[in-house]
Each structure stands twice: as C-alpha cells, then as structure tokens.
Structure 1
C-alpha cells in the first residue's frame, strides 16, 4: 500500500508524441493547446492535488526560464498566476545526472530517479506529479512506478519526434475518467490496476 500516488501528466499528439520532429521550438500544437482556457481549467484539477513535482532537466530549465516572470506579470490571468505561484512554492525534484544546481526555490536534484520516487511514494503527503517529462515518465513506467497516467490527447499528427510511451513496458491500467475539451483535445485519466 502506498501513501502517495505517482501521477504522470503529459500532453500528446494522436500519434503519441510529446514533441514533434523539430523539437519544442516548433511545437505550435502544444502551445496552442496549453493556451486554451479549458486546458488550464482541466490541468488545475490535476495540479491542485499534488504537493511535489518531478521534472527532467530540460523541462525544469524551461519552466524556470518562463514561469517566475509569468507569475509576476500583472497582465497574467488569475488561474495562470495561481499555477505559477504553485510552481514556485511546491517542492520540485529534478531528475538529472548532469545538472549541478537547481536555483528555482524549493528545488533539489535527484541523481537516482527510481530511489527518489520510491522514497517520495512512501512519504506522507499528497500526489507526486511528473509534469510532461517524457524521459522521466518512460523510466518510471519501466520501473512500474506510475500509479496514475493523465494524458491530454491533442488531435494532431506530427509524424515523429519524442514519443511518450516506451516499447517493452507491460502494465495494465483502468479508465478513471474521460473529459472532452471544447477545442478538441481529450483528457484521459488511467489508474494502474
């Protein structure tokens, strides 16, 4: 019996990619999806249940480069500002073998992802949320450490890039919920059996 659930959250294309062949700089489909009000509303229902975030180095650096500024910008809408404040205040565990410092407040580096997540899972607290870090989610799926899989499937095909779900993993999930967003994306919530 675990004390906390490890919840993997990612936005993916219909063909299963978290990023297209041109990399994040060319993922217009993702930025358009993320900018929708209903996407923000749906994601809020996920992040409000977590008190720890696990990120890979690339997402950590990307989030840290933009979120503090978004949070302080007076033009930012209240829901987005609340997410930014939560990102600032929440414990952030960065899975990296190369990062030497984690300057964003409440951040720390984890060299051994599996050991760290097993410890987080057994500690007291709310959900541990792995945010859109494909390599981290893949490693945790291989180690059978994902309790909930939360996907936003965006109705586009990109034809290649960074695939979310790894080959060679056999895990059964049951459907907990399905949410259709007005702009065509579908939120899927699966829980490990």
Structure 2
C-alpha cells in the first residue's frame, strides 16, 4: 500500500451548496467567483503533487472540450493554461457505469464505487489523487472517510436552494485549516487537511 493522499476541490456557497435552486446545471451562485485571481491561484495550488485526476462521467466528458485547447492557448491566463496542461498530461480515471468510449489519452474508465476506485489507486503509483469538482464522487469518499485534503472556494452567496455538499449522516471528522486567502470579491480560498489519529508504533 502506498501513501497516496486523496484531495478534492469544489466551490460552495455560504449555505454549503455547490449549485443553485435550478439543479446541477445552475451554477449562478458560483460562476462570479470562478475566474478571480484567488480562485485561479487556488487552482494552480491544488495541482501541486497530484498525478491522478479522478472524475465523474459528466466532468470526464465536459472537461475535454473546455480544457484541452487551453493547454496550448498562449492568450489564456497562465494559471488556466497550467491547470489545463496538468489535466491533459495527468492520469485520468473516470468513474462510470455506462461510458465505453475513453475521451482522452492517458484515461481509463472504472465501473466501480468511488471508495473501491480510490482503494485501487492507492495501492499503486505515486502522487496525490485529485477529485476534480465531482460532487458525487466527493460525497461518497467523505462518507467513507477517504478524503485527506479539501480545496474549497467559499463563495459569498446564499443559494437558498440546490444540493448540499455536506449531508446528514456523514461520519464525524476533524480538519485543520492549513491555508486561507480572501479575494477582493469576498470569496475565500481554504485548504483543510483531515486530522487522523497516529497509529501507535511498537517500541
């Protein structure tokens, strides 16, 4: 077993939602803060040390069209271009029960629960595993207590409806704030590391 860490990035509102009352496609409470300097710096930060991108089917397909061209776009923000290049070059694992066509190079599809997929990925390889804005995967891993680091953008908006990230029934856990930055628009970039008990060693 390797010591690969599992990290995840997502943006949430003050009332803990990752979309608005219009459903999964309603990102109106989030979009105004996605392109700020604080959010872009946060995006660059989360790639450091990560070698595998873990994606849901929706993101696995949708990210291709958006990020691939940006990897070589000299007019793009350097931080966007850096993230795009990282994503193109990284190992990509898409969790899906129906997807058969692999959309990217260095990509494979796993028809498995998120916890099983992470257990497999942790058994080999090096570098962090980054769950990229995939709430269905992140929720499952939080429920299994398999997330070691959270990269959050906390948006100064109350959505008033939509899907919550942290649902009732999650195991109680403790986290340490290891980074925090506030943007000009009031958004907060925060990094939380899971506090785990250290196993005693034989003396």
TM norm structure 2: 0.87
Alignment of 1:23-38 (within 5 A): 23=23, 25-38=25-38
Aligned residue in 2 for 1:187:
189
Aligned residue in 1 for 2:90:
90
Distance 2:141 2:8 in 1: 9
Alignment of 1:1-193 (within 5 A): 3-23=3-23, 25-112=25-112, 113-182=114-183, 183-192=185-194, 193=196
Q: Which moved more, 1:71-80 or 1:35-44?
A: 71-80
Distance 1:73 1:118 in 2: 36
Distance 2:125 2:72 in 1: 31
Distance 1:176 1:124 in 2: 27
C-alpha deviation, 1:32, in angstroms = 2.1
Distance 1:26 1:115 in 2: 30
Q: Give unpaired runs (5+ residues) of structure 1.
A: none
Distance 2:59 2:103 in 1: 14
Secondary structure of the residue that 1:97 maps to in structure 2?
Answer: coil
Distance 1:170 1:62 in 2: 31
Distance 2:25 2:75 in 1: 24
Aligned residue in 1 for 2:199:
none
TM norm structure 1: 0.91
Secondary structure of the residue that 2:83 maps to in structure 1?
Answer: helix
Q: Larger radius of gyration, structure 1 or 2?
A: 2
Distance 2:41 2:18 in 1: 20
C-alpha contact 2:19 2:28 (8 A) present in aligned 1? no
Higher helix share: 1
Secondary structure of the residue that 1:162 maps to in structure 2?
Answer: coil
Q: Give unpaired runs (5+ residues) of structure 2.
A: 197-203
C-alpha contact 2:179 2:192 (8 A) present in aligned 1? no
Q: In the TM superposition, what whole-angstrom CA distance separates every residue of 1:23-53 from its partner, at most 9, and x where no partner exists?
A: 4544233222111122111221111220001
Number of residue equivalences: 193
Distance 1:166 1:79 in 2: 32
